[in-house]
Amino acid sequence: MKILFVFADDFPLYGACTNILNHLLETGILQSKAEKIGVLSAKFSFDEKDFETIDNTDVYRTFVWEVFPLKAQAAKLSHFFNFLRGAAVKTFSLLKSRLSPDSYIKQSFCGCIYKKLKKIKAGDFDIIVAMSGDFNIAEAVRKYCEKHPGPKFALYQVDPCSNNESMPVSTKKARLATEAKVFASSDIIFTTPLIYDYLIENYPSCAEKTTALEFPNVVRPAFLPSAEKEIDFIFTGSLYGGIRDPKYTLRLIESVLENEKSKFYLVGVSPKDIGFEYNTEKIICTGKKSMKETAKTVSKSRMLVNIGNKMKNQVPSKLFDYVSTGKPIINVCKNPDCFSKEYLKKYPLAINVDEDDALFEKQVASLKEFIEKNGDKSIGFDEVRALYEECTPEYCARKLLDGFCEIIKK
């Protein structure tokens, strides 16, 4: 069996999909039946290689200009023509989105992935897996499998986009059309239990090929908790425009910072990502960090903060990274019915806070009480693992492998 995973992260260093796949591969379970595993991901630097083998995994990379950090690479004059090309694509894409607000799939994004699939002869793989909620990835894989019959088409945690409230209402019709084609064309679908019911209700024909599967992110922390808690509060990950707005959370945490030394670290976030003025003495943006650097920083923190998504149909995979640490979690929810609350019901050291200006002062008081009571507490990993067994890489990798073996037989 040959398996190719496709997403637009900076593999193997950074991103939610990278984190998920790293956990799965570390178990060795997929490799027990797969003679070859490949990854097609995006470039995040002009100097990244188009191909390399990392820990027996073949890694293919391509420029996906919509996600490429062009400004960060602007000083590299040796790549001047690539810079101009990227700038042109980004400018054209921006103009097109303004002139055609109803368009949903970004042709350049989708095209970059599709062309790379052709270039690496992805048809030699038995299964091509589109990962994450980005339908540009899923649509590119769908088109490839349609025009190059042979590989099975798998969807892994590609959430429905038809009920995504962060997207313009004008794109709803296009989203429904794309979503229906992708789900209908797939050979197997893995989605979270919370999304499973929605998917089956709207696409009953997909029931037999859909499996409910959690994120595989409950793993023993890479670093033991530091005795010296240098950081009071920490958030890890990215801020996405229109999806993850930090304004309310920053106000909330800043209000409970007790003294001059107290800080709130946003690891993976650059100052420009915030989008508004904030207290730079209290709020520290570290910029992009590797997973290892992030894990080390988390080990030095007292409390973890989750900034909720606007999207109701998605649970951030980082929530399971947080749970793995056993540290107290402050979960700030954009929506009162946020799915994340369901996952934290059984976690003893969590507090949920809904974004509501009318309740702000009461929330500050509740947070201070929570911090005083739980600030120095933690849960051992064995207890966490027992609570979230279905979220471990070993459990999820076995389920994935069973599903892949089943569709290969057909």
- Compute CA distances 217 → 178, 186, 228, 324, 343, whole Å: 29, 25, 25, 8, 13
Q: Model confidence over 241-265: pLDDT tens digits?
A: 667 888 899 999 988 886 667 889 9
- Compute CA distances 134 → 104, 139, 140, 144, 160, whole Å: 11, 9, 10, 16, 10
Q: What is the DSSP string of 93-153?
A: HHHHHHH-TT--S-HHHHHHHHHHHHHTTGGGSSEEEEESS-HHHHHHHHHHHHHS-SSEE
**Tally of CB atoms within 10 A around 408:** 14
CATH code, residues 2-214+392-409 = 3.40.50.2000
The two structure tokens encoding residue 43: 């470039």
Q: Model confidence over 295-337: pLDDT tens digits?
A: 888 988 989 999 887 776 667 788 899 999 999 999 999 888 8
**Average pLDDT estimate for 57-66:** 94
Residues of the chain with CATH 3.40.50.2000: 2-214+392-409, 231-387
- Give, in words, the CATH class of 231-387: alpha beta
Q: Are 122 and 40 in contact (CB under 8 A)?
A: yes
d(CA 34, CA 126): 10
In this prediction the pTM is: 0.86
Q: For the chain, what is the mean pLDDT?
A: 89
Identify the pLDDT of residue 101.
62
Residue 26 pLDDT grade (very low, low, confident, very high; cuts 50, 70, 90): very high
